[in-house]
Amino acid sequence: MKRGEVYWADLSGYEGHEQGKKRPVLIIQNDIGNKNSCMTIIAPITTQSRDFVTHVYCRKQSLDYRSQVLLEQIRAIDKRRIESYVCTLNPDVMAEVDEKIKISLALNKEERVAGMTGLVKIGRKTISAKEYKGKRIVTFKDIDAVHERPDGTARKRFSYNKDHFIEGVDFFKITPSEFRTVIGDMDLRQQNDVTLVTESGYLMLVKSFTDDLAWMVQRQLVDSYFRANRRMTPEEMMRVQLGMIDCHEERISKLENTMNIDYGQQRVLEKEVAAVVIESLGGKESNAYHEIAKKVFSECNRDVKDYFHVNSRNNIPRLRFDDAVDYIRNWIPCSNTRMRIKECNAQMSIS
């Protein structure tokens, strides 16, 4: 069952002007939802309706010439109501269907995201969403595409630094056959194992990418791709797929209360720690910086983790981000460390 296909369906149990009984229906749910959900989203088709702004004629299809899709009557139904296949509407008709859906649901173009078809826009490129063993992953080809690097760049960097990557944590190796079964289509000529890169592997791989595009792409991939794979209920899936906006303030509030800081906030805290530690050492040119910088950085990060009761600075709750910034800016080394800094810098002055 795919989006754009027409089936006979049993819509019994209708009220008033609702379209009911056995009739053709158009599948308008995206193909990811059709594959994974027990529900699908349809629009009924009738030959007994007047022209209306949210109706689309199914001309030149395997249907009665009077058939119209009623896009003001979009609904979710159990797949068990679906019966025999009728036809597939052509792209021109489906383009008109999309426009009528926007009118019916008061949507604008931005509210119908490409990601609902399994595609995610990162930077200036679009990649397909992929998961393996419950984790979002990317391929070397994806990395080269979104960072707009020559083909083979990511693979070469991975091969050069492979000893630092942990299989099962930073990457997975699977056969082409398993890739086609679990993830999606692949060139039949592909014979070698495929490397799937996780979030941690991706961040290690692109450490040396420091151009403006790289920073933007890293943030988008982390926030909008790697951490956007929470499973949705059929009802949530339906609402997101159609751009429907609902009152989820309470659910969103609960979610925000448990979320950690995002990649951009992690970078801010990293820079704040660097600034306060370097200042405490007397600057990058100081003797203390060259001798004990690593120790002081460790002390600062340890104090931050202890204060916020987390095992990593990156696990600070998002709601406490501002508190973390204030804490770091006001941080000072312990007495023993301050004395050691003073001694190191005094040696520099004497020499």
pLDDT tens figures, 299-328: 999 999 999 999 999 999 888 999 999 999
| CB neighbour class for 158 (10 Å; exposed up to 12, middle 13-18, buried from 19) | buried
DSSP 65-86: TT-EEETTS-EEEEGGGEEEEE
Percent of the chain's residues with pLDDT above 70: 81
Domain extent, residue 335, equals 263-350
| 76 and 157 part of one domain | no
Give Cα separations from 67 to 25, 39, 46, 63 (angstroms): 11, 24, 5, 7
Contact 266, 314 (CB under 8 A): yes
Residue 14 is part of a domain; what is its CATH number? 2.30.30.110
| 79 and 167 part of one domain | no
| 139 and 85 part of one domain | no
| 137 and 224 part of one domain | yes
| 106 and 143 part of one domain | no
Amino acid at position 308, single letter = F
Number of domains in the chain: 3
144 or 185, which is more confident? 144
| 71 and 103 part of one domain | yes
Contact 97, 89 (CB under 8 A): yes
Give me Rg for the CA atoms of the chain.
28
Residue 194 domain-assigned (yes or no) = yes
Contact 72, 104 (CB under 8 A): yes
When pLDDT is averaged across residues 230-238 and rounded to a whole number, the result is 52
Where a domain ends, among 228, 255, 286? 228
* pLDDT score at 262: 86
Residue 258 domain-assigned (yes or no) = no
Residue 137 domain-assigned (yes or no) = yes
* pLDDT score at 232: 52
When pLDDT is averaged across residues 252-264 and rounded to a whole number, the result is 71
Determine the number of helices (DSSP H) and then strands (DSSP E) in the chain: 13, 13
Closest CA to 71 of 40, 33, 103: 103
pLDDT at 11 over 90: no
pLDDT bin (cut points 50, 70, 90) of residue 287 is: very high
* pLDDT score at 349: 55
CA dihedral 59, 65, 66, 69 (to 10 degrees): -40
| CB neighbour class for 270 (10 Å; exposed up to 12, middle 13-18, buried from 19) | middle
| 103 and 155 part of one domain | no
What is the average pLDDT value for the chain, to the nearest integer?
Answer: 83
Residue 119 domain-assigned (yes or no) = no
Residue 33 domain-assigned (yes or no) = yes
Residue 235 domain-assigned (yes or no) = no
Closest CA to 8 of 90, 60, 71, 86: 86
| 62 and 138 part of one domain | no
| 17 and 103 part of one domain | yes
Predicted TM-score of the model (pTM) = 0.37
Phi-psi region of 272 (alpha: psi -120 to 50; beta: other; left: phi over 0): alpha
pLDDT bin (cut points 50, 70, 90) of residue 347 is: confident
| 106 and 155 part of one domain | no
Amino acid at position 185, single letter = D
Residue 303 domain-assigned (yes or no) = yes
Measure CA of the first residue to CA of the last residue in the chain; give whole Å.
80
* pLDDT score at 114: 39
Residue 283 domain-assigned (yes or no) = yes
Contacts 24+ apart (CB under 8 A), 105-112: 105/74, 105/242, 105/243, 105/244, 107/242, 107/243, 111/243, 111/245, 112/243
Residue 135 is part of a domain; what is its CATH number? 1.10.1660
For the ranges 131-140, 219-228, 334-343, the maximum mean pLDDT occurs at 334-343
CA 221 – CA 203 distance, rounded (Å): 10
